[in-house]
Amino acid sequence: MGYYDIAQICLNGHVATAASKRLPSSRQKHCKKCGEPTITACEHCSVEIEGTFFTVSNSLPRRRPYTVPRFCHNCGKPYPWTRRGLDAVKSLADELDELELADREKLKRSFDELVADTPATGLAVMRVKKVLTKLKSHTASVIRDVLVQIATEAAKRSLFG
């Protein structure tokens, strides 16, 4: 038996609190890290963002570690931080003059598959790895930094290690 609290997360994906009901004093209107407003519900369907899952065992609550969700569990739309990360890495791909247009477009399409575990995630990992080897180390590093923030754990393991 257990329940989800409500998370409060800024538009860039920084967690203000994963337990806004249980710990109301931890709520913040704006993020301490970046200054962006925080939200507790999906901007598309208004369903609350699932926070920490608490289990009740022997009358003592235990909580599981919290992972920031990428998509709304109700409507399936990406949360703002997922969309912003994808937009940023796609814009970066548009700036890669050392790649041909076809490679840039392939790379941009692959990013969408790295934020969700789908049958195409493995192919996307292969494509991104291939393109990263063609880039200057600094450029590849910038792309890696953004992907670490938005990619699924499985995609990150396949990409980086």
Six-digit token pair at 140? 């590849």
Q: How many CB atoms lie within 10 A of CB 147?
A: 20
Q: What number of other Cβ atoms are within 10 A of residue 9's Cβ?
A: 24
User: What is the DSSP-derived secondary structure letter of residue 47?
Assistant: P
Quickly tell me which residue has 């806004």 as its tokens. Answer: 20
Sheet containing strand 38-39, strands side by side: 15-17, 8-10, 38-39
Co-location of 40 and 92 in the same domain: no
Q: Which residue has the higher pLDDT, 134 or 82?
A: 82
Residues 6+ apart with CB under 8 A from 30: 10, 36, 37, 38
What pLDDT, in 10s, does the model give residues 19-37? Answer: 999 999 999 999 999 999 9
- pLDDT score of 59 more than 70: no
Q: Which pLDDT belongs to residue 90?
A: 95
* Number of structural domains the chain divides into: 2
Q: What is the pLDDT of residue 134?
A: 86
Structure tokens, 89: 């890495």
Asked if residue 27 belongs to a domain, the reply is yes
Q: Are residues 114 and 150 in the same domain?
A: yes
Q: Which domain does 139 fall in, by range?
A: 80-160
Residue 61, pLDDT > 90, answer no
C-alpha angle 76/81/86, rounded to 5°? 85
Q: Are residues 57 and 86 in the same domain?
A: no
Residue 68 belongs to some domain of the structure: no
Q: Is 71 helix (H, G, I), strand (E, B) or coil?
A: strand
Are residues 114 and 128 in contact, defined by beta-carbon separation less than 8 angstroms?
A: yes
Q: What is the pLDDT of residues 103-117, one digit of tens each?
A: 899 999 999 999 999
Burial class (CB in 10 A: 0-12, 13-18, 19+), 137: exposed
Above pLDDT 90, what percent of the chain? 78
* Mean pLDDT computed over 91-110: 91
Residues 107 and 150 in one domain: yes
Q: What is the mean pLDDT of the chain?
A: 92
